[in-house]
Amino acid sequence: MDPDKVLIAGGGIGGLAAALALAQKGIPSLVLEKASKLGEIGAGIQLGPNAFHCFDRLGVGESARGMAVYIDSLRLMDAIADGEITHIDLGDKFRARFGNPYAVVHRGDLHGVLLKACQDHSLIDLRTQAQVDGYDQDGKGVAARLGTGETVRGRALIGADGLWSLVRRQVVGDIPPRVSGHTTYRSVIPLEQMPEDLRWNAATLWAGPKCHIVHYPLSGWKVFNLVVTYHNHAPEPVAGKPVPVEEVRKGFTHVCERAQNIIRHGKDWHMWVLCDRDPIDQWVDGRVALLGDAAHPMMQYMAQGACMAMEDAVCLADSLSSYESLETGLTAYKDRRVQRTARVQLMSRAMGDHVYHPDGPRAALRNTLMNAKSQDQWLDTLDWLYGGNGLD
Ligand SMILES: Cc1cc2nc3c(=O)[nH]c(=O)nc-3n(C[C@H](O)[C@H](O)[C@H](O)COP(=O)(O)OP(=O)(O)OC[C@H]3O[C@@H](n4cnc5c(N)ncnc54)[C@H](O)[C@@H]3O)c2cc1C
């Protein structure tokens, strides 16, 4: 195995983006993915303009733009009163301000675009059934220990192995992720089954006490992505368990009829109990660094986990190519990324409490404050996030 390669544990959106970003700078890599096949589960994902800034730097701008649905607005509905609280217009003014659009894509399509670009690049090797259990390092390189007992050598190791990262376990030595107690159920509805009066070209959020519903069109308007969340204090992490619609409906009996009706149309529901972590700045151990959910797992309430992973990738490659010493480059990468990702981690949690799930006077206050904002004020509010590409 080429010892000059950067090893990347994990072939999710973060790991593949890292391989592409490094390749753009002429740095070869080997992606080690534990699954037997490279792919993504779940349906939709929202992408802010900052994701599109990254696509261009990863060399996939055109193909990424081709698979997206360009929605007109982000719409916030009151799930009790059945009325709009506010919306953010994603039209020309938004695009001009941030230099790129806001879009929704199928996760599989996004992963597929990144995978194809990796497969086509001579500097990237991909290997499946290669779980990275840990690593050893010396002044010359890193040896990743695989589940098979084999070791693979490289010049650096990037832990892009997600929420339950084994690389992180060794870098940080910390406790398991925090279980949020929020249970998310995901489904996809064929367009013709989506209630006609709700076929909006928007990412719509119905916010109710301790629950919310998100829907948006996907895959060239063939389907609607439906994600509903109930803060039921679930005690244990769960990932992708099939559940009957009756179980999903239990958490939404208190919301308006129109919102309840959306859930009735969902099929093949799967459930996740969401986890995140507090921000840390211990992302680097010598020649080893963390990226994406391995570094900063967050609640999905700012729709930024994958966007941040791609920004990490761009910044990692930029930092490594800017310094002679690998260790200095990794430390520079971490220093450039920690505050921005910590802000998104903490704000995502706060959004859950103050925007997605409040009740009574707190919900009324949310409505008043959010309704009072003009479109220009919304753009100012979002400038720090969508205006950046993670390099500053
Ligand atoms: C309900 C929900 C909605 C979301 N919506 C959005 C959204 O709208 N916009 C957005 O930007 N983000 C969103 N996110 C967040 C986003 O999905 C994640 O942040 C993103 O996928 C993280 O990518 P990653 O590559 O870091 O980790 P992962 O996607 O977890 O990938 C990790 C990869 O590593 C592999 N792996 C794991 N352990 C090992 C090991 N030891 N060795 C080798 N391989 C290993 C895994 O099989 C996997 O392929 C959402 C998340 C959820 C839960």
Report mean pLDDT in 10-residue bins for the chain, 392 residues. Answer: 82 98 97 93 90 96 94 97 97 96 95 97 98 95 97 97 97 94 95 93 97 94 95 94 94 95 92 96 98 98 97 97 95 97 98 96 97 97 88 73
Q: 136 lies in a domain?
A: yes
Q: State whether the beta carbon of 131 lies less than 6 angstroms from ligand 1.
A: yes
* Gap between the Cα atoms of 244 and 232, Å rounded: 17
Q: 237 lies in a domain?
A: no
Q: 208 lies in a domain?
A: no
Relative to beta strand 211-218, strand 6-9 is: unpaired
CA of 292 to the centre of ligand 1 (A): 8
- At residue 1, the pLDDT reads 42
Residue range of the domain that includes 89: 6-176+277-386
**Residue 148: CB atoms within 10 Å:** 10
Q: 294 lies in a domain?
A: yes
For residue 53, which of 334, 335, 311, 343 has the smallest C-alpha distance? 311
Quote the number of domains for the chain: 1
Residue at token pair 């450039």: 336
Q: 320 lies in a domain?
A: yes
Q: 32 lies in a domain?
A: yes
Sheet holding 156-159, edge to edge: 124-127, 29-32, 6-9, 156-159, 288-290, 284-285
Atom of ligand 1 nearest to the CA of 131: 42
- At residue 340, the pLDDT reads 97
- At residue 301, the pLDDT reads 96
Q: 227 lies in a domain?
A: no
Tokens of 65: 């733009």
CA of 82 to the centre of ligand 1 (A): 33
CA distances from 257 to 48, 65, 197, 260, 357 (A): 31, 36, 13, 5, 18
* Gap between the Cα atoms of 207 and 259, Å rounded: 10
Q: State whether the beta carbon of 352 lies less than 6 angstroms from ligand 1.
A: no
Q: What is the pLDDT of residues 222-231, one digit of tens each?
A: 999 999 999 9
For residue 293, which of 132, 166, 118, 105 has the smallest C-alpha distance? 166
- At residue 3, the pLDDT reads 58
CATH code of residue 291: 3.50.50.60
- At residue 45, the pLDDT reads 95
Q: 319 lies in a domain?
A: yes
CA of 61 to the centre of ligand 1 (A): 21
301 three-state secondary structure: helix
CA distances from 233 to 205, 210, 258, 278, 352 (A): 21, 10, 25, 18, 13
CA of 1 to the centre of ligand 1 (A): 27
Q: What is the pLDDT of residues 136-191, one digit of tens each?
A: 999 899 999 999 999 999 999 999 999 999 999 999 998 899 999 999 999 999 99
